[in-house]
Structure 1
Amino acid sequence: MTVLRVGTTYIPVTNVGESADWYVNKLGAVLNYIDADKAILDLANQAFFLVKSRDGQSANFIDYEGKERFSLTFEVDGLEALTKYQQDLMKNEVRVGEIEDRGHAGNNFVFYDIDGNMFDVWSELSPTFKEKYL
């Protein structure tokens, strides 16, 4: 058996309606379904379920050095696209970090949703994605 793709990502949120609006208005996600417990969105060629959770929950984790980390990286096509996306998020009043060189190919920055879920953005599209879809 071979896993072919990640189909769905689950994100904990405290208010499903407010979070769905945030993802639609700030990130351009498409809302496919919403009820009191969850919203289902299309974003970056993947389904995202925003799941009602208790206060203080997030998709972030703390690494062995005590640093808070993201669990998901979005990809854009090049440094110019990375810079533009960061600027677009800032215009939409999204909390974003600085563009960083982390010592590997490309550059990255992080941003946060309204519940504090941290996401990474990388300036390099995977070669397989480029080959299949671009």
Structure 2
Amino acid sequence: MIKVGSIFIPVTNIEQATEWYEKHLGVKKIEGWGEGAGFYFPDSDTQLGLIEVEETQPSEFVVKGDRKNSYFNFLVKDIDTIYHELNSSGVKTTEIEDFNGMKHFDFFDLDMNAFSVVDEPVDSPFHRDNVKMMQQNRK
């Protein structure tokens, strides 16, 4: 079975990025190595890796025109609380938007890497509980 193990993010200063990600995303450092460091989320199997690079690199792709999409998103249960916490601690964010019941916003790290935060409505086929039911029914 294949699962997402780690997500890697390019950063220009590993020490500053480590402090930022620990403070704002609540990740815990596992270990560092040469140009990188690995972290875990307290409530998730997926790990996070920060890799020091010489120049900033995009963490999103162009969909069409000037519309962009991040490569992955962070799933939350209470988007309003996360939004307030990030904003009150000085993290740059976009406004919360509603897309057919799914709320989302983007935030940016020290290197202006863009990340999306989403909160799926319970009746969405993409809601974590509905996905779990699909997984269990297809085993």
Range of TM-score over shorter length? 0.7 to 0.9
Q: Provide the C-alpha distance between the structure 2 equivalents of 1:35 and 1:92, rounded to a whole number of angstroms.
A: 29
**CA deviation string 1:82-105 (max 9, x = no partner):** 101100111221111111012x33
**SS in structure 2 of the partner of residue 32 of structure 1:** strand
Q: CA RMSD in A?
A: 2.1
Q: Which amino acid aligns with 1:94?
A: V
Q: Which amino acid aligns with 1:84?
A: T
1:33 pairs with one of 27, 31, 34? 31
1:126 aligns with 2:128: yes
CA positional deviation for 1:130? 8.4
The aligned runs of 1:1-134 (5 Å cut-off) are 2-3=1-2, 5-43=3-41, 45=44, 46-77=46-77, 81-102=78-99, 104-124=100-120, 125-127=127-129, 128-129=131-132
Q: Provide the C-alpha distance between the structure 2 equivalents of 1:60 and 1:130, rounded to a whole number of angstroms.
A: 30
CA positional deviation for 1:39? 1.0
Q: Which amino acid aligns with 2:28?
A: V
Change (3 A) 1:47 1:65: same
**SS in structure 1 of the partner of residue 97 of structure 2:** coil
Q: Provide the C-alpha distance between the structure 2 equivalents of 1:54 and 1:63, rounded to a whole number of angstroms.
A: 26
CA contact (8 A) 2:10 2:56 kept: no
Q: Which amino acid aligns with 2:48?
A: F
CA positional deviation for 1:117? 1.0
TM-score by structure 2 length? 0.80
CA contact (8 A) 1:12 1:52 kept: yes
**Stretch deviating more after TM superposition (28-37 or 12-21):** 28-37
Q: Which structure 2 residue ranges, 5 or more long, are not aligned? A: 121-126
**SS in structure 1 of the partner of residue 112 of structure 2:** coil
CA contact (8 A) 1:58 1:115 kept: no
**SS in structure 2 of the partner of residue 107 of structure 1:** strand
Q: Which structure 1 residue ranges, 5 or more long, are not aligned? A: none
Identity of aligned residues (%): 25
CA positional deviation for 1:17? 1.0
Higher relative strand content: 2
